[in-house]
């Protein structure tokens, strides 16, 4: 057992004792929690860990904020808009606290890992009881205990760790997320994530395999492996790489689908493409953020690949992984982006034909390299470029969707709506395309064979194949 694991074990024992003390304190009444996630899948998955700890302390999930005895906001700061949303939402809790003074309010996550922001929030909102960042998750039980004893807690210290062994209360019942690594070393010049999530650290492949086996036993059939750059995963025990990990997970009985995100183009290896092609459970979809189609801008972004390299990866993927779909992230209006640079992005989008493009206006983040660059683009120009790009993507998507008509594939059904007396199921193909089709509610959580018969603007319409 490595030192890390021993330390984690010791911490978990202490935490469990603290959670039991809180449970004892609360034994005469029901206490409820409400957690809202403002960020990415990593952020939601951290919320599932906090929920796991709260449930171990005897709390139960509240359906709405108004019912809760503790409210936690798990924040994001990747763009300015995300931060402003949190400040607005926290402000709106004042009224609830006035009505119920025993209510505990906490703010955590990436935004409050930034010292200055955490302090500002703590000072401005006196009714907030706990503020902590991303590295203090393992200290949550003791922070909560202090608050229950009447203290206010601001805690943004704490080493970057690999949080093993924390109980997790998962939102899903057949599909769920599994962290394979934490942090990021890439320092793309626009991005705050490495500053608020710390350096890259991978989990042991043994712990990951154990977790996925356990999930399979609990009935989960789809897992999504999470990391800021899964392609640079390396097990600390034995140098197991990401493609090797995929091959190991592919052998686990009960698991039917394996997804992963995110992949950085600079680290996408041909071993990974082989693993995607050869592992039956690994889905035929890759999220491969390109960010820009202009080499000049890619260099300023510190992405460490060129447009040509990206296009050659797309070609290799399509060549070797039959039926693969590629989605992406794109930033418009990066400092110094000219009309010509932007047109390079448009032409790349046209060439590749992404299945989905998540598009963003560049948002300066304090402390990053790009925030100090010359040539900031006017917000109205950024908006114009975003609209133009979105229009093009919508047009391409509509055109590309037609190629699926007549194809047959398995859809993992996520849920349904009732419309005009019919049950309309929704779910995803292996390639991550969304499909809607008529069926019965007992199909939720199962893989159903569907033929695509029509398309809408964003998704596909199918019918069950008997
Ligand atoms: N690790 C992942 C995700 C990072 S955040 C990756 O490397 O792709 C998700 C997306 O947010 C990024 O891909 C990028 O497109 C966008 N993003 C990050 N920082 C941004 C900023 N300052 N302004 C606008 N978009 C940003
Ligand atoms: Fe941010 Fe780049 Fe790391 Fe992704 S790879 S989290 S964009 S620094
Ligand atoms: Fe995710 Fe936002 Fe943090 S995108 S990693 S929650 S800054």
pLDDT tens over the chain, length 466 residues = 456 666 677 778 889 999 999 999 999 899 999 999 999 999 999 999 999 999 999 999 999 999 999 999 999 999 999 888 998 999 999 999 999 999 999 999 999 999 999 999 999 999 999 999 999 998 999 999 999 999 999 998 888 888 888 999 999 999 999 999 999 999 999 999 999 999 999 999 999 999 999 999 999 999 999 999 999 999 998 889 999 999 999 999 999 999 999 999 999 999 999 999 999 999 999 999 999 999 999 999 999 999 999 999 999 999 999 999 999 999 999 999 999 999 999 999 999 999 999 999 999 999 999 999 999 999 999 999 999 999 999 999 999 999 999 999 999 999 999 999 999 999 999 999 999 999 999 999 999 999 999 998 889 999 999 7
CA distance 184 to 263: 12
Query: Which bound ligand lies closest to the C-alpha atom of 77?
Result: 3
Q: Which stretches does DSSP call E strand in 288-335?
A: 325-332
For residue 374, how far is its CA from the centre of ligand 1 (angstroms)?
A: 20
CA distance 360 to 377: 13
Ligand 2 neighbourhood includes 358 CB (under 6 angstroms): no
For residue 94, how far is its CA from the centre of ligand 2 (angstroms)?
A: 35
Closest CA to 343 of 385, 396, 400: 385
Q: Could you identify the atom of ligand 3 that is nearest to the CA of residue 39?
A: 6
Closest CA to 182 of 135, 241, 237, 215: 135
- Token pair of 79 as six digits: 């763009």
Closest CA to ligand 1's atom 3 = 228
| 448 neighbors 410 (Cβ within 8 angstroms) | yes
Q: Could you identify the atom of ligand 3 that is nearest to the CA of residue 78?
A: 7
Report the pLDDT value the prediction gives residue 1, as an integer from 0 to 100: 45
Ligand 3 neighbourhood includes 435 CB (under 6 angstroms): no
Q: Could you identify the atom of ligand 1 that is nearest to the CA of residue 330?
A: 15
For residue 190, how far is its CA from the centre of ligand 3 (angstroms)?
A: 13
Report the pLDDT value the prediction gives residue 4, as an integer from 0 to 100: 63
Classify residue 308 as exposed, middle or buried by CB count within 10 Å of its CB (0-12, 13-18, 19+). Answer: exposed
Closest CA to ligand 2's atom 2 = 188
Q: Could you identify the atom of ligand 3 that is nearest to the CA of residue 197?
A: 5
Q: Could you identify the atom of ligand 2 that is nearest to the CA of residue 191?
A: 1
Ligand 2 neighbourhood includes 189 CB (under 6 angstroms): no
Torsion of CA 184, 187, 190, 194, to 10 degrees: 40
Ligand 3 neighbourhood includes 39 CB (under 6 angstroms): yes
């Amino acid at each position: 057992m490595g030192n890390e694991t021993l330390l984690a074990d010791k911490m978990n024992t202490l935490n469990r004792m603290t959670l039991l003390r809180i449970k004892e304190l609360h034994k005469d009444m029901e206490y409820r929690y409400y957690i809202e996630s403002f960020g990415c899948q990593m952020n939601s998955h951290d919320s599932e860990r906090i929920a796991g700890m709260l449930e171990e302390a005897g709390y139960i999930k509240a359906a709405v904020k108004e019912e809760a005895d503790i409210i936690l906001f798990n924040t994001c700061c990747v763009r300015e808009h995300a931060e402003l949303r949190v400040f607005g939402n926290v402000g709106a809790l004042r009224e609830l606290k006035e009505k119920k003074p025993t209510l505990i309010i906490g703010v955590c996550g990436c935004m409050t890992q930034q010292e200055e922001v955490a302090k500002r929030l703590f000072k401005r909102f006196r009714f907030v009881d706990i503020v902590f960042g991303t590295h203090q998750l393992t200290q949550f039980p003791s922070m909560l205990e202090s608050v229950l004893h009447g203290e206010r807690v601001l805690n943004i210290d704490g080493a970057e760790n690999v949080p093993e062994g924390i109980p997790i209360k998962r939102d899903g019942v057949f599909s769920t997320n599994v962290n394979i690594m934490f942090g990021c070393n890439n320092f793309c010049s626009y991005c705050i994530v490495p500053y608020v999530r710390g350096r890259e650290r991978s989990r042991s492949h043994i712990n990951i395999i154990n977790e996925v086996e356990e999930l399979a036993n609990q009935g989960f059939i789809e897992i999504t492996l999470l990391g800021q750059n899964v392609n640079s995963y390396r097990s600390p025990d034995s140098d197991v790489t990401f493609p090797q990990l995929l091959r190991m997970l592919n052998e686990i009985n009960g698991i039917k689908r394996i997804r992963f995100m995110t992949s950085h183009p600079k680290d996408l290896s041909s071993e990974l493409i082989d693993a995607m092609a050869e592992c039956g459970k690994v889905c035929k979809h890759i999220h491969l953020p390109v960010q820009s189609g202009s080499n000049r801008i890619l260099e300023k972004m510190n992405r460490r690949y060129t447009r040509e390299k990206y296009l050659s990866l797309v070609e290799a993927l399509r060549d070797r992984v039959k039926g693969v779909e590629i989605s992406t992230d794109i930033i418009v209006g990066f400092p110094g982006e000219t009309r010509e640079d932007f047109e390079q992005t448009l032409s790349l989008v046209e060439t590749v034909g992404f299945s989905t493009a998540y598009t963003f206006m560049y948002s300066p983040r304090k402390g990053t390299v790009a925030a100090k660059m010359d040539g900031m683009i006017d917000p109205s120009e950024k908006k114009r470029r975003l609209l133009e790009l979105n229009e093009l993507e919508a047009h391409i998507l509509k055109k590309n969707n037609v190629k699926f008509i007549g194809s047959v594939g398995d859809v993992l059904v996520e849920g349904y709506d009732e419309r005009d007396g019919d049950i309309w199921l929704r779910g995803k193909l292996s390639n991550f395309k969304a499909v809607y089709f008529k069926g019965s509610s007992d199909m939720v959580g199962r893989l159903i064979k569907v033929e695509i018969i029509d398309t809408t603007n964003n998704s596909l319409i199918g019918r069950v194949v008997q």
